[in-house]
Structure 1
Amino acid sequence: MKLLIKNARIIGNHDFPTDILIEDSTIKKIGMDLKVSAEKILNAKGKLVTPGLIDVHVHLREPGFEYKETIATGTAAAARGGFTTICAMPNVNPAPDSVKKMQNIQRLISKSAKVKVKQYAPITEQLTSDRLTDQRALVNAGAFAFTNDGVGVQTAATMYLAMKEAAKNKVSIIAHTEDDSLLFDGGVMHEGKRNKELNLSGMSQLTESTQIARDVLLAEATGVHYHICHVSAKESVRVIRDAKKAGINVTAEVTPHHLLMSEEDILSDNSLFKMNPPLRSKADQEALLEGLLDGTIDMIATDHAPHSDEEKQGSMIGSPFGIIGSETAFPLLYTNLVKTRRVTLDQLVEWLTSKPAEIFNMDIGRLEVGAPADLACFDLQNEKVISKEMLHSKSSNTPFIGWKIYGDTYFTIVDGQVVYQEEN
């Protein structure tokens, strides 16, 4: 089947309307006013068309926690946000720490996913043990990379052995860095000034940065590609910057919420602001953007973490960590970073497409002839307000409800098929 996109604005050719011809699952032609026939025509109406966005950090909750999200609803939310490839974390029940469990998740993905899903496997059995999983067998069963996201690997020897094995298997280790020995009193938000004002227990930035410092040296010793999840602290940025200068193969991501908010935005004990790592100080927030701009941090990932309304009502105490992000990431970043001229549109698109594709060796993230026909279209002109009603996720746990945005998704295409289109 041929699909012709008319009147697109594309990166690198902002000033002229461009047409894109897709045949089956591949981009066949790009040019002005293409004279070709096609079974389906989509008019982009001058809106921005980019490569499909890539999110290396999402939680789909299935199997085990389908009341929060399912593969079907989570991938629908991703499509709603312009994401065409997402990487799903393994903290589900049961965790895919064996070939049989990994094969089961792959079957669920094949049956229900609306976008491309790459599945992580755990570093250790059941995510919290010190027994390494069989990496080679799990890779053969479809594992994308290895992570214990949600918990830090507490023992240096365990991480070292996992990294040695991953280097041998030419796969990446992805780390949620958190030293449990530095967590005191069941912390629920950043240990700074606001937690004291709200009389809530704090979480020091040292829980994150000290484990990163440990791990980058282990990565240097083993030669593995080591990727750090959701960096939140200025000390972490400094450690990563120094590691890169030393030639260590380390990469990192930052979330939209850590770029756009700080502890100062938490005005009350509101569990919608409870996330791990927590929103930190204004100085940390500024260091994250600086790190993104100078290449210390490589990409943006959402850490889309759905929870039920019941779980996220009331106090931070006793509620789970995490907020959703798939559907709001691009417009929030465009509105608050690009329109305010803190970053360029080209930079934003790169952090959400070509950078993660390059780092994780994925043949996507390009808008060029011969590339896979994974595309997203965004409306940069019309203002909207984020509301629960606009969300396709099963959950609505986000503090961004009510924020005004530009850049909402107009349509999303995966392998030449329209998987989301704004209702007229």
Structure 2
Amino acid sequence: MSATPQVSLIIDDTVKSHFEFPSSTVAPSFVPLSVFYGSSAEMPGPSLEGTTATFVNILFDGTSIMLYGNVSQQIENMSMIVDGANPIPFNYDGPRRYGLFFELPTLAAGPHNVTLSNVTDVSIDFAVISANLSAGIASQLPIIIDDSDQTDIIYTGQGWTSLTEGEQSNFLVLNSQPGTDATPYNDSVHTTSGIGDGFNFTFIGNDLTIYGIMNWTAIGSLSLRFALNGSSDDQDYAVVVDDVQFSQGLTQPNFPWYQTPSNLAAGQYTLVVEVLQCQNLPFTVDYITYLPSSLSSIPGSSVSTGGPSSTKSFIVAGIREHPNFSSKKGCSKSHLDYTSAISTIVFVRTLGDAPLNRSELPATISTLPPRVPAHESSIPSMPQSVVSRYIFPSNVSEPPKLVRAWRGDGSASSGTTTTSCDS
């Protein structure tokens, strides 16, 4: 039985129907606001930092949510409430940087709310949710397509380079200010300086924007042609000594290279992008957003069709084996059964598996399983560059010992080994 097709949707922090911030939040001041998606972000004001007061209530209709923003220090015991359940402590010991810092496992399809409090030195820029293709929300929010999606984005030319996690995709937003590290959306970008290089992208809708990374740290120029259904729009970009961004040493994420006209009617379009001229200013693509007008005709790889299962990894406090959970590390067939064991275990869960339902979390636990099953004793340690994601059952009285997450493809990070499902 194939999984329900899903689509990734982006929600800016300014969308009040999804983000509810108190009036005491403030805009970040450590970097220019232009580095954030939509040139906006929210962080706790002095009266909110480290208190039990609510920092944000997030409303969404879907099956999962990821939060992007900036984390300036380790997060300890941030309080998270999902769908009105008991508070759950959330800890983050990943890199201090701009990028992905929060992710929930797959939830049952439908409306959800997530409330965060006891937050310090965290700013929220935007959320990305996964929603069923048939959900009404999917026609009201922009779809986000990652640069690595080479089914939807057809790259042309020989000069393209794909940079991913561990391959210098990370950068400093301000090159003279340590602590302003950033990573692109989904830890990947495509970049080129080759004249004639480009890509094609077909979509049904309007309000399309191509986002990337703009390097203001070196003098240079770039000319691009954007041909929408054959109608060309040539745009020039340049960095000169007098630019404020040059004096700041700014490398700008979420830079809008191109946006379709505001009066563009919804319809089917093919956008052809070409590099016309490049002198020391590379064209770096991170992601594309657009507002769909026909969900049944979303380009192929922006939905999950129930083909070969991709995997995501999560860290969960206290797991004991479910009858349908393989005892081999890195393999799973269905949902997991939670317990209140204090140890943490890494597991890999296929996106096509049955969604996690809060009713599966037991209200009380009378007995505890072994702290670490024998087959998990050889889990490799993970490098600092890997984002850590944690979720703890509400009946755990103190945060468990933390371990690193695995990469999204189910493999250990570079320099480590892992056991495959077939071994």
TM-score, normalised to structure 2's length?
A: 0.27
More helix by share: 1
TM-score, normalised to structure 1's length?
A: 0.27
